[in-house]
Amino acid sequence: MPQNKQIHLDSRPKGEALASNFKLVVSETPSLKEGQVLVRHHYLSLDPYMRGRMNDAKSYAQPQALGQTMGGGTVGEVVESRHPKFAVGDKVVGMGGWQQYSVVDADQLGALRKVDTSHIPLSAYLGAVGMPGVTAWYGLVKIIEPKPGETMVVSAATGAVGSAFAALSKARGCRTVGIAGGPDKCRYALDELGFDACIDYKLHADASSLSKALKEACPQGIDGYFENVGGMVLDAVLSRMNAFGRIAVCGMIAGYDGAPLPLTYPALILMNRLKVQGFIVSEHMEFWPEALKELGALVASGKLRARESIAQGLEAAPEAFLGLLKGRNFGKQLVKLV
């Protein structure tokens, strides 16, 4: 069995996460038992939710254990199998974590899924045709429930979730507006992702200034908002929401270092009779097949061309992850392991 490099969580952050919170270790891969599969990971997914799991605090997910491999989504191929449904060479997606190999109990529900790479690249199963894509689909379709002609807004617009949101929203006949950081990201949102408008939040010092930009981009107001950021961005959007607007709350990356994110005008939720609903996509697995079917068709047809930021090698994962938290990535952040 091969030696396996892993990255463990070595200590919990005090405020901002640091590279020193992680530790590279090398371990022996255990021999397979009946029903198990050995997967060699090709790509590792880095996602904002991982920052919350680094804290030992009450949350929707169990804290990441110290001295254990960081959890996370992976795609790769089966290199040894003692399970009748998986053969050597099968391409698979799972939650292998920050390591080169994983031993998977393949009978465990949802632990490993075979994927077809004839029309969809393997890496896309960690982005547009994976958890981020389904996250965008669920928030839009099941919470916001868009109607043709309405105006939809998404923050972190050029990330993995925002990219999928744009394609899904445009397919439903909605005016779709993004909020992103920097002129390059906004240009990409317009030219490649099909947004009708994109606002560079870095040009705005406060919520009032951003709100004015939103008024220009959304002359009919905002009917649906997909929240990834929080803070100033949420304050600005709330001031432009239409009556009976719907907000799907997926992430609050502005507060992942533990600082509180107070709302400036929470009364707007009442005044405009807004629906504000947080959600965790892993709690809605019954909708994944429907979502993945639509997302796969969008990718295969070229209507969803999500960009990827790729760090090379497992050792690069901590710095790539810290860069993701600061918005340095462009599109879905991956680590290439093969």
Residues 152 and 250 in one domain: yes
Residue 107: which pLDDT band, with cuts at 50, 70 and 90?
very high
Domain range for 145 is 131-282
Q: What is the CATH number of the domain that holds 54?
A: 3.90.180.10
Query: What is the SS3 assignment for the chain?
Result: CCEEEEEEECCCCCCCCCHHHEEEEEEECCCCCCCEEEEEEEEEECCCHHHHHCCCCCCCCCCCCCCCECCCCEEEEEEEECCCCCCCCCEEEECCCCECEEEEECCCCCCEEECCCCCCCHHHHHCCCCHHHHHHHHHHHHHHCCCCCCEEEEECCCCHHHHHHHHHHHHCCCEEEEEECCHHHHHHHHHCCCCCEEEEHHHCCCHHHHHHHHHHHCCCCEEEEEECCCCHHHHHHHCCEEEEEEEEECCCHHHCCCCCCCCCCCHHHHHCCCEEEECCHHHCHHHHHHHHHHHHHHHHCCCCCCCEEEEECHHHHHHHHHHHHCCCCCCEEEEECC
Averaged pLDDT for residues 316-320: 98
Residues 31 and 53 in one domain: yes
Residues 145 and 273 in one domain: yes
pLDDT at residue 254, rounded to an integer = 80
pTM above 0.85, yes or no: yes
Residues 122 and 141 in one domain: no
Residues 118 and 163 in one domain: no
2-11, 49-58, 174-183: the lowest-pLDDT one: 49-58
Residues 123 and 135 in one domain: no
Residue 259: which pLDDT band, with cuts at 50, 70 and 90?
confident
Residue 261: which pLDDT band, with cuts at 50, 70 and 90?
confident
Residue 124 has pLDDT above 90, yes or no: yes
Residues 111 and 183 in one domain: no
Residues 123 and 141 in one domain: no
Would residue 295 count as lying in a domain?
Answer: no
